[in-house]
Amino acid sequence: MKNTGFIKSKKQFKPDKELLRFAEWFSENYKILKEGRYLSDKAKYKIEYRDDIIDKHTGRVLKTPARIVIDNGVMEISKVKLKNKKITPNFVYYLVVWLRIRLLVQTEMEADLITLQFYCTQERNKGNIVSGWREILKPNETKREIEKNIKRLESLNAFVKTFDEKIKKIQDSGKNLQNLK
């Protein structure tokens, strides 16, 4: 997928307030929460917060810090994997939104870029996002996974750079950032 700085996807992501409030709440509290199932206000969104994420077919602990179950939309997040990483609550917020978008699109890369665009247009601090991904993606084993993750990180870096350049041009012209949404 060519990175233009703004993503035009057939699947438009329009997050509702319930998801954003839930992501915000979880990101502010994930360090003190106990294992368990957490529901958004109207129970539309669910997070299974466990020490580890276990593959139900093999019984093996997965290396991923988070995933979404396609069948039911439940977000599974590993407490151990987040706790042991140098990541910020800002990144955890982003991760929860990313998981939801991942249900709507075909590839992780598309989910990466759509979520990053959404996040950037919310005028949130995006400085920790790429470093958060770097921290999450780093422990992969195979050469193929490492090469794939390097490409993901390069695309995220390029997106942020292009996005910042476009925002500067818009600000210089006196237009409002809200026009990007």
Encode pLDDT of 146-172 as tens digits: 788 888 888 888 888 887 777 777 767
Q: How far apart are CA 136 and CA 149, in angstroms?
A: 10
Q: How far apart are CA 67 and CA 47, in angstroms?
A: 10
The domain segmentation of the chain, as residue ranges, is: 17-180
Signed CA dihedral, 56, 60, 61, 64: sign only:
negative
- Sequence-distant contacts of 34-38: CB under 8 A, at least 24 apart: 35/79
Burial class from Cβ neighbours inside 10 Å (0-12, 13-18, 19+) for residue 75 reads buried
Q: What is the pTM of this model?
A: 0.71
Per-residue model confidence as pLDDT tens digits over 10-46: 455 566 788 888 888 998 898 899 999 999 999 999 9
Q: Give the pLDDT score at 3.
A: 37
Q: Which of 119, 175, 161 is nearest to 5 (CA)?
A: 161
Q: How far apart are CA 118 and CA 122, in angstroms?
A: 6
Q: How far apart are CA 93 and CA 58, in angstroms?
A: 30
Indicate the pLDDT class of residue 129, thresholds 50, 70 and 90.
confident
Task: Give me the mean pLDDT over the 102-123 stretch.
Answer: 78
Task: Give me the mean pLDDT over the 107-125 stretch.
Answer: 76
Q: Helix, strand or coil for residue 83?
A: helix
Query: Mean pLDDT for the chain?
Result: 78
